[in-house]
A and B are shown apart, each in its own frame.
Chain A
Amino acid sequence: MARRQRLAQEAAALAGAVRGALGPRGGRALLVRATGQAVLTRDGRRLLEALSLEPPTARMMAACACRHRAATGDGAKTFVVLLAGVLGGLCAAGGGLRRALQAFEAQVLERAVAQGLRRHLLTALPGREGEAEAAALEALLEAYLAGRLGPGERRRLARLCAEHCRRCAPAAASRPQALRLLGRRFAELHAAVAGLPVASSMVLPGLVLRRDFATYSPAGGELRAVLVTEPLRPALSAPSVEFVVDSEGQYQASLQWITRRTEALMKHLQSNNIKLLLSSVKQEEAVISYAKLYGISVVECLSSEEMALICEITGVSPCAPFGDNMLGGITETAVATFCQPLLLGSKRCAHIGFTSVCTFQPHCLILCGPVDSVNEQHAAALQEAFIMLQQLFKTAEQREECKAEGESRSEALGVCSWPCSATQTQLAIENNYCNSTQVPEGQSKAHRDGAETQIVDPDLHGCDNPVCVQTDLPVLSSPILHIKEFSGATEGDGSSRGVQEPHAECERLGAMHLNCKSDSLVDSQKHHSTAVLACNANAGTACESLGAGKDLEKTSCNIVPLKQGESCVSTAQNYSGSLIKAGSVLPVGGYFEVLLHYYIQYYAKQFQQSEVAVVSNVVADALLSIPKTLYGTTEQNSFTKFYLRAINSLRKNEPLPMNGEGLESVYCKYHLVISVLHCVTELLSIDLIIGIKRPLQKAEDYDSENDF
């Protein structure tokens, strides 16, 4: 009991430390490093790290929060506040509730989400075009940035970020790919200027390389560029190469040969109409001076990240002009529409408008702010905003793929035999859509599925399976674990067919959580063969949950009556893996929490007196602590007003009173609740803390997931 109290106290202290920075009215923190460097931030992860916590359990809480943030790009502070609420509630409610947590998750939470919350969800991006989509993008960004930036800057930056995103990917179809690239290469795709007002920030076409031209020769119109990775002036000697001088004449001749050779090379570049030389290494004076003579601009000392980005965008690889092909044609050339010096603050940069060979149109975001630490804060927030946005775009992306290779219909049918012949054709179409997301994936999933059902519960009516998928979700952030699980699953099935695919899939961690959703679809098909009753309803919801194209929607319309005809409560659990459509959003400002609070209580009623009911009440109350914090700093009873208004309209079955300011992703929010519950279970399971002197090996790096 004492331990539980201690946990609650620790969590409450942590929550107290981050609470002030939560939400749109939160303030920011100035972190002063031991070196004296000042960092401005509202990032939960940085705050928690800066606290350098002492107690091991508190460190574990912070680590869980950070892990959650790394996976979804958001929510470390909310995590801590919710965790404190749940732990405090459990502590007050008394012991022995650890097991009830799992039951609560399976029996109440999922039902609350699937049957209650679903009705209120809005969809953000898929299927919307032009103006509406741009507005949704901005609303999402603004709501996200409201938690990360000061009140004066967020609107301007949200607009800039949305513009950056739109201009990098003018076509909506290429946006997921662009977002991935932006998230990964944001360091190279932005530049910061200190000492200017934030209002001077802008999006520039092309790339800005943050170093000056070694030599610049103005060139109008379209120009060609080459990339090199080695010094262009030959050296007399190299490591482990000895140069023997026989006579003065020989020495002079060699030096002259080197100079001639350098000149010839530059002449050759010029004759190939190359106007720009991009080098990852420092070039000799002689090279620069001959480049100037032959009208070639040179940028040197490019970082490997910049080189990689240029290669990615232009599709060329660095050439090695020293080989025998020196006088041959130069094939690997990038094309740029312009190339000019750019003065950013007092720093001279090279501004190059590369022509892209892929759908990504390179644009550079110039961030201005009064001090460097503000710019760093903005850059970090924007980069994570791109990670957050990726989560929304993914379905759209998968749908593209599925249209491209929708050939696995027969195979899918082979896997699942459908006893319900009336809806078979329609379901088959669906089935096609579900499974064809990726052909090998479909197969492997079917296998994995079988394995899991075997492991967990071979002949149940499908209730445990979704739980299984759910428990996967937090684990997604650690690739190693996942691969293990996959191979285990395939072995369990006794088949070697799917062994390659799961591994390939694991590398594509980015799309992972979606795969889980489609997993459960296949799950449900599997269960149809055992539980025929659930079949029709299941099919209907499955179809809806994928949010597929138009013709698919028609199909789902056909099925709807069937679904209504057979409303089986237990099926709700069946599709909980896909219970939140990709792209689902809710307005910001505590709506998610109030809705979930209401529905958890609603569905907990049937468990009178049991432990599950106690846990349900605890979680439902803890959820309210988030909107309480959000409204905390304004007038006294504004939270109560908001709460009563929302609950009243829910009781009367009216639409919620919403002031559509910004949107937030429901998937991230739901994931947060699940992660908190798991963290609580984990914390309550610890019975002994052993202090050791030797440093423990760090098992995983929390940052690494940012880079997929």
Chain B
Amino acid sequence: MAPAIELVGVDKRFGAVHANRNIDLVVEAGSIHGIVGENGAGKSTLMSILYGFYEADAGEIRIDGASRRIRSSRDAIAAGIGMVHQHFMLVEPLSVLDNVMLGAEGGALLAQGAAATRARLAELGRAYGLAIDPDATVGDLPVGLQQRVEILKALVRGARILILDEPTAVLTPAEADQLFEMLRALRAEGKTVILITHKLREIMAVTDRVSVMRRGEMVAHFDTARTSAQELASAMVGRPVLLKVDKTPAAPGEIALAAEGLVARDRSGVARVDHVSLSLRVGEIVGVAGVSGNGQSELLLALAGIAHPQEGRITLGGRDVTRLSPAALRKLGLAHVPEDRHHMGLVLPFEENESALLGYQDDPAYGSGPLLDRDAVRADARVKIRAYDVQPPDCLLKTANFSGGNQQKIVLAREMERDPNVLIVGQPTRGVDIGAIEFIHKRLIAMRDAGAAILLVSVELDEIMALSDRILVMCGGRITGERRAADTNAQELGLLMAGVTEKAA
């Protein structure tokens, strides 16, 4: 049987950036094909070319053995390709039904296709465990369900080839497992799946073959059964990578940051953070584990001074800072890496060096009085780019033009390189490649050893267990358990995360 997809000599430049260099790729029909590669390696670009979002500068695309010209997504959809983009392509104020129908309305009047689409959604929901309320507003849905809408969009259009660009970056482990079940079901029906992910565990678990990209080139192809995570990691980064974190036991000192009885309610009055007390000591990393949406985000916002809690007290180095602004907290040595880089961490239209400065613009190192010292700002940005291996290493490029993982590095470099006393990090490695994860993890441990107090919120249980000295589990806005990292395991934490109470666990 002809391969589902063959790419021959695909080449693409964005201005000075050579995103794809002469790429060849074969994806067998009825297989799950993984693509891995560092941030900025060109994975999303390649898939977007296949989906007709970008047009390649050169190269050929063959679908089911026949050469096809794909000039727009319309051509790709007609060829049976569907794609779930890394950053979703949804119209947030519209309903699920409207989003699914967009482009596949089934008639000039919406009423003509609505009933059929509803029926199809219900059918797909049953067949693949993708149930969803068609009348819900997409913007109100949690990301996991938004992704479901994207998958349904592709399936309703009858996609035979489904591309998923880092789908698990926004999913909890349980949701990810459910997704993989669905992918296996699709494969069993003869459909073809391309899966991009940074998590080698997932590659090993579901793919049949895997291709590795580095710096715009396709560098290796493997049969999953005949390779290992270690080998893939080395091929990706171009050097051996440590997949485990090395660290010595912590030597916690006095309390750096403490919260007592924090309550944060949302607009409808529901307590998203419900009487949370915690303390963070100098020289330790405290991990906050939990299924996303259980109050971790709100806790981060409260501690960082972005959304003040309605009740409770926060002290920093013994001083009451409950109502201080983020700027004031920063001056007292508290740094914050927000969970969502697009919404809070960066100004996408700014140049990299400007984004790398945000929040610290008053620092005398960057100029005196009202004036910024451009040269100092850029020099500082270049140092951080080198230290964190941001690609491409150009501090004058717009922030929006960096790949997701590299944007994350820009934020991390900004907050971590100032050696804060207290560091609050949300999802530090979301969308970041393994080479960078290794680096970020090492850096966090080094900061701890140098006496920083670190609060780590992550939905990656592996990350929490690898880095933390103490682990707090949040569920339904409360802290439902506390464990020393050395004395616990994934099963126990999983139970606590699911809301099984302390005693029962």
Partners in one complex: no
